[in-house]
C-alpha cells in the first residue's frame, strides 16, 4: 500500500466503507431468504457451528483482525441481519 495523505487515505476508506455497506446489504438479503427456508427461524435458528466455521474461513482472509475480532464483528452482522429480517416479516420497513 502506497503512503498517502490523510485526505487520500480517508477517501480510500470511504470507498471501502461504501463497498462494505453494499456487501452487508446483500448478505442481509441472502440471510433473510435463508430464514424463510429454515424450520426454526430468527435468533432460535442460529447455527453456532456454522458461525465458527464462517469466522475461521474469514480469518484466513483477514489475519490482521483474527478470529476473535471477526467473531465479534460477525455476531453483530448476523444479529443485525436477523433483526432486519424479523422487522421485514412484521410489516413495511420503518424509516431509519
Domains of the chain with CATH codes: 6-89 (1.20.59)
pLDDT of residue 1: 53
Q: What is the 3-state secondary structure (H, E, C) of 12-59?
A: HHHHHHHHHHHHHHHHHHHHHHHHHHCCCCHHHHCCHHHHHHHHHHHH
Give residue 92's pLDDT.
Answer: 66
Question: How much is the pTM?
Answer: 0.83
What is the residue-level pLDDT of the chain in tens, covering all 96 positions?
A: 567 899 999 999 999 999 999 999 999 999 999 988 888 878 888 899 999 999 999 999 999 999 999 999 999 999 999 999 889 888 865 555
Amino acid at each position: 500500500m502506497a503512503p498517502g495523505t490523510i485526505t487520500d487515505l480517508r477517501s480510500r476508506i470511504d470507498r471501502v466503507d461504501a463497498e462494505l455497506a453494499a456487501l452487508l446489504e446483500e448478505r442481509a438479503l441472502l440471510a433473510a431468504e435463508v430464514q424463510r427456508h429454515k424450520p426454526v427461524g430468527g435468533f432460535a435458528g442460529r447455527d453456532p457451528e456454522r458461525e465458527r466455521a464462517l469466522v475461521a474461513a474469514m480469518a484466513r482472509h483477514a489475519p490482521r483482525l483474527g478470529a476473535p475480532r471477526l467473531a465479534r464483528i460477525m455476531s453483530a452482522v448476523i444479529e443485525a441481519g436477523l433483526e432486519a429480517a424479523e422487522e421485514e416479516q412484521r410489516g413495511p420497513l420503518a424509516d431509519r
